[in-house]
């Protein structure tokens, strides 16, 4: 059952090709969510090579700590000299610091990243290539009360079962000794509450065994009858939708007390039916399926039982009290186990289950919250699979604490720094498909925000969002096709933002359209079109943003991209200039009405930015209005500015970032030109 193409059959077996083979196999494992989730699992190969002095040596190449198996490259494998590692098995004990210290002295490249925390385990197993995953089916077998017997029954007695031990010297030594006791051909090893190890002379052989054992486990589980689970009935979808919109901003408010978080949400059928279990209260107490998940989702979620008829203030009170009691419980757990040397992690829940509505996961950025949500979804499915086998076997509280506060594991978090000036914030940018809007979205995303790109041009919007997603990660970019002058479109766009990220902190109201013509020549149609986009559009997005921001209670920042035209009306540009003046007034009203909510509203007046807004027709019209040749237009605009410089979309984007950041936290109701200095355009 090879998953490889034919080229594998004839591949040579030089060290380089074996490392390449390991890279391929590792990615196969790492990109299969049935086998591992983010950061889980590892792989290795032992090859002849040389140590850092250049002397010949057998070298263990193992995945570096913190790299992701799914996107691993040959450079992510760290070389450690086998002779030195193997000798350690004779020791009685070794603590983690000793191991790390020892390993850094025997690495082929001492300045490279540290190898996986399971290096000794790989080194002590006497096989060419070793693969390790946290496959769902294996975790199912290894999280029931009589796991040992279940595993032998499901997989056969040519699989070794190792009791739960936190990774480190003891686990590595126990696993190696368990193998020494067995003489027959062993196909693999299951670490209880943890995962699977298989091996072979080559990565390909090890992978074939991996697949074989997992398929066997899956088959065994699916052959057993599923127990009957009693669930409450599903709620009508429109009521659920409404509750999602009401709950998310409030939940985000209380989970952002220490630092701003984003929320990912799912109400897929599995999670929704899980949330409706009558015994949910006891099921959620089962805890993580492998200690690896503790860093990402904590041991248990928060449950928020809501009903439709709850008023907003009752809902607020409920969320506040549930979050508070979760924190209290976490703090008590920490205090029961901690000595004074440890700092408590945030006591907030990561996962919130709302029966009948869905599951939320909180994270410092969109990718962390999505990873957490995915881990919890797998946890729920493993819970339900274990019910075919018997009763669930949880880690003890001591084991949970020991794993959650294991310094080696906590160090992993520091390898994934989350930073950025507006980290954890959600920014909606209108007219984001191109020009100024696209530049603003990119600037805000680079500064750490999750961005919601709105535009009515679907094709260009998708291509802009795709490019941006490649740069900042797809999970940080949401694109919504919407016409800002269409009330339903705007409402739905903000609902999508709340559903995807939990709320909105920043609005950049940028969408506009240039309508030209003398008043006497303006048709009713052209006039109305300009008012619809250039003023009604700004009103609609502002209203929806303010509604979300005030519900959320975390303040916020709105920036209007206006135009010098608000102060300096342009010839034959009436329908545009008049709307721009109204937009400026809209911003001021919003600043006045919402200052007490901590919402700041500021305006930017750019001038003569060269974007595709200036299509052929507009250029021709402007040139005609100023009685110059079209080719002279750019120079004309440049020379009339005080600084005599060309203004770009990035100049505007930079000013937007300043206005939405803490750096301008005392500024609201301001108008700032980005026009290289136009005397007539000075704000007044």
- H helix and E strand count, the chain: 25, 18
By beta-carbon proximity to Zn ion, the closer residue of 132 and 246 is 132
Dump strand ranges (E) for 330-484: 351-354, 358-363, 426-430, 450-455, 477-481
Q: In angstroms, give the least distance from the CB of 39 to Zn ion.
A: 10
Q: How far is the CB of 117 from Zn ion (least distance, A)?
A: 9
Which residues, listed in sequence order, are joined to residue 351 by a DSSP beta bridge?
361
Can you tell me the distance from the alpha carbon of 126 to that of 46, in angstroms, rounded to the nearest whole number? 10
Token pair for residue 649?
């979309």
Report, in Å, the least distance between residue 330 CB and Zn ion. 24
Binding mask 268-307 vs Zn ion (x if CB under 5 A, - otherwise)? ----------------------------------------
Catalytic one of 383, 576, 626, 637: 576
Active site residue 392: no
d(CA 239, CA 245) in angstroms, rounded, equals 10
For Zn ion, the closer of residues 118 and 651 by Cβ is: 118
3-state secondary structure (DSSP) of residue 448: coil
Helix, strand or coil, per DSSP, at residue 180: helix
Of 191-199, 213-221, 596-604, 656-664, the window that binds Zn ion (rule: CB under 5 A) is 191-199
Burial class (CB in 10 A: 0-12, 13-18, 19+), 58: middle
Q: Do 42 and 132 contact (CB within 8 A), yes or no?
A: yes
195 vs 200, which CB is nearer to Zn ion?
195
Residue closer to Zn ion, measured from CB, 413 or 613? 413
Please count the residues of this chain forming the interface with Zn ion, following the rule CB under 5 A.
Answer: 1
CB nearer to Zn ion: give 132 or 564.
132
472's CB contacts (< 8 A; 6+ apart) are 445, 446
Of residues 168 and 195, the one with the C-beta less far from Zn ion: 195
In 3D, which of 448, 23, 404 has the Cα closest to residue 202? Answer: 23
By beta-carbon proximity to Zn ion, the closer residue of 195 and 469 is 195
> At CA 21, angle to CA 20 and CA 24, rounded to 5?
90
**Residue 187 near residue 159, CB atoms below 8 Å:** yes
The total number of residues shown for the chain amounts to: 684
Identity of the residue, 69 or 586, whose beta carbon is nearer to Zn ion in the bound complex = 69
Binding to Zn ion, residues 331-350 (CB under 5 A): none
Distance between CA atoms of 136 and 397, rounded to whole angstroms?
22
H helix runs in 268-365, sequence order: 269-275, 280-283, 294-297, 312-337
Whose CA is closest to 511, among 443, 435, 625? Answer: 435
Q: Which stretch binds Zn ion (CB under 5 A): 194-202, 248-256, 557-565, 604-612?
A: 194-202
Report the C-alpha gap between 563 and 331 in whole angstroms.
52
CA dihedral 141, 360, 467, 65 (to 10 degrees): -40
Which residues lie below 8 Å from residue 78, measured CB to CB, with a gap of 6+?
61, 62, 63, 64, 107, 108, 109, 112, 113, 114, 115
Contacts of 58 (CB under 8 A, 6+ apart): 46, 47, 48, 49, 81, 82, 83
Q: Among the residues of 64-196, which ranges form H helices?
A: 82-87, 96-105, 119-124, 136-141, 147-155, 169-180
CA 449 to chain centre: 11
Q: Which is nearer to Zn ion, 256 or 290 (CB)?
A: 290
- Residue whose CB is less far from Zn ion, 195 or 556: 195
Of residues 42 and 509, the one with the C-beta less far from Zn ion: 42
d(CA 50, CA 57): 5
Query: Residue 20 class from Cβ within 10 Å (0-12 exposed, 13-18 middle, 19+ buried)?
Result: middle
CA angle 174, 176, 182 (to 5 degrees): 105
Catalytic residue IDs: 576
Residues that bind Zn ion (CB under 5 A): 195
């Amino acid at each position: 059952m090879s998953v490889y193409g034919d080229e594998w059959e004839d591949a040579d077996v030089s060290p380089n090709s074996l490392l390449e083979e390991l890279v391929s196999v590792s990615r196969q494992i790492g990109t299969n969510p049935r086998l591992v989730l983010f950061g889980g699992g590892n792989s290795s190969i032992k090859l002849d090579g040389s140590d850092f002095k250049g002397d010949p040596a057998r070298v263990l190449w193992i995945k570096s700590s913190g790299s992701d198996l799914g996107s691993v490259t040959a450079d992510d494998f760290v070389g450690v000299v086998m002779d030195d590692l193997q000798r350690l098995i004779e020791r009685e004990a070794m603590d983690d610091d000793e191991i790390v210290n020892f390993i850094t002295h025997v690495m082929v490249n001492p300045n490279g990243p540290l190898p996986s925390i399971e290096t000794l385990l790989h080194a002590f197993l006497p096989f060419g290539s070793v693969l390790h995953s946290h496959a769902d089916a294996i975790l199912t077998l290894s999280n029931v009360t009589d796991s040992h017997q279940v595993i032998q029954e499901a997989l056969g007695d040519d699989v070794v079962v190792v009791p739960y031990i936190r990774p480190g010297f003891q686990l590595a030594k126990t696993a190696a000794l368990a193998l020494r006791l067995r003489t027959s051909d062993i196909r693999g090893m299951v670490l209880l509450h943890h995962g699977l190890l298989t091996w072979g002379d080559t990565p390909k052989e090890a992978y074939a065994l991996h697949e074989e054992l997992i398929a066997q486990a899956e088959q065994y589980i699916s052959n057993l009858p599923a127990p009957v689970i009693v669930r409450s009935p599903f709620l009508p979808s429109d009521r659920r939708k409404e509750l999602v919109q009401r709950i998310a901003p409030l939940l985000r408010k209380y989970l952002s007390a220490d630092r701003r978080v984003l929320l990912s949400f799912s109400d897929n059928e599995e999670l929704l039916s899980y949330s409706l279990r009558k015994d949910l209260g006891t099921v959620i107490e089962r805890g993580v399926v492998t200690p690896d998940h503790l860093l990402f989702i904590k041991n248990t979620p928060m449950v928020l039982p809501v009903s439709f008829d709850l008023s907003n203030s009752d809902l607020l009170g409920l969320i506040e009290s549930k979050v508070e009691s979760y924190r209290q419980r976490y703090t008590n757990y920490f205090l029961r186990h901690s000595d004074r040397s440890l700092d408590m992690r945030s006591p907030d829940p990561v996962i919130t289950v709302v029966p009948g509505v869905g599951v939320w996961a909180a994270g410092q950025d969109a990718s962390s919250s999505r990873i957490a949500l995915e881990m919890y979804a797998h946890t729920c499915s493993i819970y339900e699979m274990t019910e075919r086998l018997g009763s669930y076997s949880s880690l003890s509280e001591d084991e949970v604490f020991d794993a959650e506060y294991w310094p080696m594991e906590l160090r992993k978090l520091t390898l994934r720094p989350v930073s950025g000036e507006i980290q954890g914030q959600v920014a909606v940018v209108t007219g984001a498909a191109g020009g100024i809007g696209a530049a603003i979205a990119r600037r805000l995303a680079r500064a750490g925000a999750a961005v919601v790109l709105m535009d009515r041009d679907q094709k260009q919007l998708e291509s802009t969002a795709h490019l941006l997603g490649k740069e900042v990660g797809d999970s940080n970019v949401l694109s919504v096709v919407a016409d800002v002058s269409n009330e339903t479109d705007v409402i739905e766009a903000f609902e999508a933002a709340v559903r995807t990220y939990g709320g909105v902190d920043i609005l950049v109201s940028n969408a506009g359209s240039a309508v030209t013509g003398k008043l006497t020549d303006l048709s009713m149609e052209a006039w109305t079109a300009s008012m619809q986009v250039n003023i009604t559009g700004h009103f609609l997005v502002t209203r929806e943003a303010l509604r979300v921001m005030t519900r959320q209670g975390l303040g916020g920042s709105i920036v209007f991209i206006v135009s010098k035209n608000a102060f300096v009306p342009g010839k034959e540009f009436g329908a545009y200039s008049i709307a721009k003046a109204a937009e400026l007034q809209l911003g001021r009203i919003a600043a006045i009405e919402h200052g007490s909510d901590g919402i700041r509203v500021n305006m930017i007046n750019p001038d003569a930015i060269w974007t595709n807004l200036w299509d052929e027709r507009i250029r021709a019209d402007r040139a005609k209005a100023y009685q110059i040749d079209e080719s002279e237009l750019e120079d004309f605009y440049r020379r009339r500015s005080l600084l005599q410089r060309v203004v770009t979309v990035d100049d505007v984007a930079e000013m937007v970032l300043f206005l939405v950041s803490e750096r301008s936290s005392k500024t609201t109701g301001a108008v700032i030109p980005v026009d290289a200095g136009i005397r007539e355009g000075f704000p007044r």
